């Protein structure tokens, strides 16, 4: 029978999505263990026709567990993922804790499954789930890179509230109601109004003027593609959208790739849907992508600021909680079976 599975951080937005996706994909688990902080331990969860009691996460939680899906923040992963791996459990970690660690594969199943070749459920090890904005960009850009090598990538992201957790989604809704009613705005999550506003991504600033979210895009892309020298820059913005990220991407090729060639590569790409109707002026929106598995690509056009077909612009939308986190992690877990 199938692997025994544990979910660490089951009460969070991604933890809840793990449960939905495991069910949707009929993941062949034999036992399910729901782990969270002491605060949530003891509460019951109806899932897959059974009542499950949430258990407190402890050092000994992973005995007999074959696969553990983590999404409880970097400090929890740093503390417990190595313990789980030592107990023989194979960890799929959605946090950023081990993404850049030597020997830890950073995997998007449609892009670089070979990076985790040989890993199996119940044989220990850690696989890192990339950052959501990296996954969404690379689902669309990798097929193009494989059709014609990319020299430089410029990404501007428009990131949903869900990336900052359920509390940020709740606050966006509350502030929107308050703003429409002309009431004072409740501000707990971000130090500025979120409703009817947008702002530089809330991750910490680093030494070079880029924030951590932008540097994740740069570093994770280089690791996933195995291209330490590829030129990448990113600007990450938080926008008042619930759960799907949007990203504007400009590519410069070493040689060239025409719009037709790009659309052909995208049409053949797994996990990618195209919305690119110029006559109807219809292109991807976050609401097209919300709660969907695929990333949605459109606005595919030759970059008129470059000679010939050496440049291309495109626009991508993807569900941050699903393909940006929980779905990608479950697809990684499927590669462990």
Least gap, CB of 56 to ligand 2RA (angstroms) = 24
> Which residues within the stretch 150-169 sit at the binding site for ligand 2RA (CB under 6 A)?
159, 163-164
- Residues marked as catalytic: 132, 245
The residue among 110 and 213 lying less far from ligand 2RA, judged by its C-beta, is 213
4 is a contact residue toward ligand 2RA (CB under 6 A): no
Out of 21, 32, 132, 144, name the contact with ligand 2RA by CB under 6 A: 132
Nearer to ligand 2RA, 93 or 213 (CB): 213
Closer to ligand 2RA by Cβ: residue 148 or 290: 290
How would you write the chain as a 3-class SS string?
A: CCCEEEEECCCCHHHHHHHHHHHHCCCCCCEEEEEECCCCCCCEEEECCEEEECEECCHHHHCCCCEEEECCCHHHHHHHHHHHHHCCCEEEECCCCCCCCCCCCECCCCCCHHHHCCCCCCCCCEEECCCHHHHHHHHHHHHHHHHCCEEEEEEEEEECHHHHCHHHHHHHHHHHHHHHHCCCCCCCCCCCCCCCCCEECCCCECCCCCEHHHHHHHHHHHHHHCCCCCEEEEEEEECCCCCEEEEEEEEEECCCCCHHHHHHHHHCCCCEEECCECCCCECCCHHHHCCCCCEEEEEEEECCCCCCCCEEEEEEEEECCHHHHHHHHHHHHHCCC
What minimum distance in Å lies between the beta carbon of 245 and ligand 2RA? 7
Show the site string, 293-332: x = touches ligand 2RA by CB under 6 A, - = not: ---------------------------x------------
Among 133, 142, 309, 331, contact with ligand 2RA (rule: CB under 6 A): 133
The span of 59-67, 130-138, 224-232, 295-303 binding ligand 2RA (CB under 6 A) equals: 130-138
290 sits near ligand 2RA (criterion: CB under 6 A): no
Q: Is 143 in the site for ligand 2RA (CB under 6 A)?
A: no
Identify the residue among 112, 131, 148, 309 touching ligand 2RA (CB under 6 A): 131
Chain residues binding ligand 2RA by CB under 6 A are: 131-133, 159, 163-164, 213, 320
């Amino acid at each position: 029978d199938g692997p025994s599975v544990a979910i660490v951080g089951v009460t969070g937005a991604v933890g809840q999505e793990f449960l939905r996706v495991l069910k949707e994909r009929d993941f062949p688990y034999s036992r399910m263990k729901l782990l969270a902080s002491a605060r949530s331990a003891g509460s019951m969860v109806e899932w897959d026709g059974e009542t499950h009691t949430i258990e407190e996460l402890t050092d000994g939680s992973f005995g007999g567990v074959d696969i553990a899906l983590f999404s409880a923040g970097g400090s929890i992963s740093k503390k417990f993922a190595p313990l789980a791996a030592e107990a023989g459990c194979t960890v799929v970690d959605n946090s950023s804790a081990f993404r850049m660690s030597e020997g830890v594969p950073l995997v998007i199943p449609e892009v670089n499954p070979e990076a985790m070749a040989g890993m199996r459920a119940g044989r220990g090890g850690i696989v890192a789930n990339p950052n959501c904005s990296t996954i969404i960009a690379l689902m669309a850009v990798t097929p193009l890179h494989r059709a014609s090598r990319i020299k430089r990538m410029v990404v501007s992201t428009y990131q949903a509230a869900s990336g900052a957790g359920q509390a940020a989604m709740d606050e966006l809704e509350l502030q929107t109601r308050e703003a429409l009613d002309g009431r004072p705005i409740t501000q707990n999550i971000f130090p500025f109004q979120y409703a009817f506003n947008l702002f530089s991504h809330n991750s910490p600033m680093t030494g070079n003027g880029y924030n951590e979210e932008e540097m994740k895009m740069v570093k994770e892309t280089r690791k996933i593609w195995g291209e330490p020298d590829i030129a990448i820059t990113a600007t990450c913005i938080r926008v008042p959208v619930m759960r799907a990220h949007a990203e504007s991407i400009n590519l410069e090729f070493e040689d060239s790739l025409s719009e037709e060639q790009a659309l052909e590569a995208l049409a053949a790409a797994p996990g990618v849907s195209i919305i690119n109707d110029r006559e109807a002026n219809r292109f991807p929106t976050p609401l097209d992508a919300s709660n969907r598995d695929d990333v949605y690509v459109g606005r595919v056009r030759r970059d008129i600021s470059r000679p010939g077909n050496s440049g291309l612009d495109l626009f991508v939308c993807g569900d941050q909680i699903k393909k940006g986190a929980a779905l990608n992690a479950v697809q990684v877990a499927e590669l462990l079976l």
